[in-house]
Amino acid sequence: MTFNSIPFWSFCLAVVSLYYLMPHRFRWVWLLAASYVFYGSFDIRILAVLAGLTAFVYGASRAMEGASGRARRLLLLANIGAPLLALVVFKYLSLFWQAFCALGHVLVGTRQAEPFNILVPIGISFYVFKLVSYAIDVYRRKIPAEAHVGYFALYVSYFPQILAGPIERAGDFLPQAKRPVSWKLTSISEGVRLVAWGLFKKLVVADRLAFYVGEVFLSPNYKSGHLLFGAYFYYVQIYCDFSGYSDISTGLSRMLGLAPPVNFNYPYLARSVSDFWTRWHITLSSWLRDYLFLPITYVAMRKIATDRWWGVRAEVWGYAIGTLLTMALAGLWHGAAWTFVAWGVLHGIYLVVSRTTSRARRRLGRAIRLNHAPRLQRMVRVALTFNLVSLAWILFRATSFEHAWTYLRYLQFKLPPAGMANLVFDLAIVAVLFGLEYVQRNRARLPILDRVPIELKAVGYALFVIAALAFSVDASNPFIYFRF
């Protein structure tokens, strides 16, 4: 049951309708049952992992709340250790075992290892991060440990979010889930609008670009400008795929009267790589900031006792260590492959270089008088960031370092006649996407849209639906982030 399938939407219709028809005190039972049915539809065995981790973290957090000192710290360790151990066993053990055997092969000539054939519970990366953030927040006394096991289980398994986020914090979700909500047409229509927009991004843009990107990445050893567009289109594809999923998830939550956090904020308009990370997968980047980057940086700064080390200020060292480690782990979180780690490290390098060269870049801007033309300056920065991020996506999409290197080696600007019609068509689709997002972004500056009668808007929506139906892709491609 995937988000772009008819059984899923029949399921959602039933869930939302009955949700509002039943009294508030039973709604959590209904949503929890629906979430477990939904998750179990992928493989009944993965329910055991979900239920086991939920029960463990619930119990340990309750115990931790009443404990203090060393016992409290030990409980925290267990509380975050158990979910992380499950993540490592199910997702990374095969990678680490292969790396270990490869090392043994090089050093003492042992046999190379085959990857394990292990069942990976879908969405485990996402709900493990929810559990860890909950445990740490309880430990830090930011939130109380949830007493109601049902609401806690619902927080972990909530079906619109379990497969690929957003990674919502318990402190945001639980109060909303407990608040009685009544049926509102505006919530439903807002939810439907978001779902439709998400499906457009997924089925019309992401899945269509996937053909072009797939072909280009499959045989990159043909020198051509298509490789350049392949990288750009992969950026747009993964953006539409993931943000489309987030829109659908948010839309569903809105229909249920909840307000989940925003996960994407037009990342292709980022003016720097650090700006990109405030716009891309926002719930993950804020999670990484709060639970990894800040603690790592704090520890690193404490270890560097002096103000300067090798002529560099201690805070820069702290930032660099924190950023590189966080980004490497962020890369690893995306998948059990070293190319993902390299992708994370590359982003880390971008961030560190950006921070350490900010003054020099400002001086350069002044020297070439770019600061007198702020719009041009903004465009240059957006274009530069877009290219840097696209370059990193090549590593993310490549199946191996050799694949990524071949891609980069053959990349050129000259476009051959082959594949031109598809390129132009895909560019037109991307232009439509950016155009529609421009209107969304600048709604406040377009008051005329608010004066349009609702009947005319309905006609516009009908046109949108038919256009989306005409240009959507029939093939059922799973969402890219489901595999993470």
Which positions lie near other proteins, rule CB under 8 A? 20-21, 114, 182-185, 218-219, 416-422, 425, 454-459, 461-463, 465-467, 469-471, 473-474
Please report how close the Cβ of residue 175 comes to other proteins at its closest, in angstroms. Answer: 22
Judged by beta carbon, residue 214 or residue 365, the one nearer other proteins is 214
* Whole-angstrom distance, CA of residue 200 vs CA of residue 251: 13
Residue 108 near residue 33, CB atoms below 8 Å: no
* Whole-angstrom distance, CA of residue 394 vs CA of residue 413: 16
The SS3 call for residue 309 is: strand
Which two structure tokens, joined as six digits, stand for 282?
A: 């926002």
Please report how close the Cβ of residue 413 comes to other proteins at its closest, in angstroms. Answer: 17
Please report how close the Cβ of residue 451 comes to other proteins at its closest, in angstroms. Answer: 14
How far is CA 159 from each of CA 37, 41, 43, 256, 414, rounded to the nearest angstrom? 9, 11, 15, 12, 46
How far is CA 175 from each of CA 172, 181, 231, 259, 358, rounded to the nearest angstrom? 6, 12, 42, 11, 41
Judged by beta carbon, residue 379 or residue 418, the one nearer other proteins is 418
Q: At what angle do helices 420-441 and 226-255 cross, to 10 degrees?
A: 40
Judged by beta carbon, residue 299 or residue 459, the one nearer other proteins is 459
Phi-psi region of 369 (alpha: psi -120 to 50; beta: other; left: phi over 0): left
334 catalytically annotated: yes
Which two structure tokens, joined as six digits, stand for 308?
A: 């300067």
Peptide bond into 115 cis (omega under 30): no
Judged by beta carbon, residue 147 or residue 459, the one nearer other proteins is 459
Please report how close the Cβ of residue 432 comes to other proteins at its closest, in angstroms. Answer: 15
Please report how close the Cβ of residue 208 comes to other proteins at its closest, in angstroms. Answer: 10
Judged by beta carbon, residue 68 or residue 182, the one nearer other proteins is 182
Judged by beta carbon, residue 286 or residue 422, the one nearer other proteins is 422
Closest CA to 127 of 185, 167, 94, 100: 167
Please report how close the Cβ of residue 309 comes to other proteins at its closest, in angstroms. Answer: 48
CA 341, 347, 351, 353 torsion: positive or negative? positive
Closest CA to 265 of 119, 166, 183: 166
Write the CB contacts of 145 (distance below 8 Å, at least 6 apart in sequence). Answer: 61, 62, 64, 65, 138
Judged by beta carbon, residue 84 or residue 473, the one nearer other proteins is 473
* Whole-angstrom distance, CA of residue 146 vs CA of residue 178: 12
Closest CA to 240 of 427, 433, 22: 433
Q: Spot the catalytic one: 281, 334, 347, 403.
A: 334
> C-alpha 257: how far from its chain's center?
23
Please report how close the Cβ of residue 189 comes to other proteins at its closest, in angstroms. Answer: 9
Judged by beta carbon, residue 68 or residue 112, the one nearer other proteins is 112
Please report how close the Cβ of residue 31 comes to other proteins at its closest, in angstroms. Answer: 18
**Catalytic positions, written as ranges:** 334
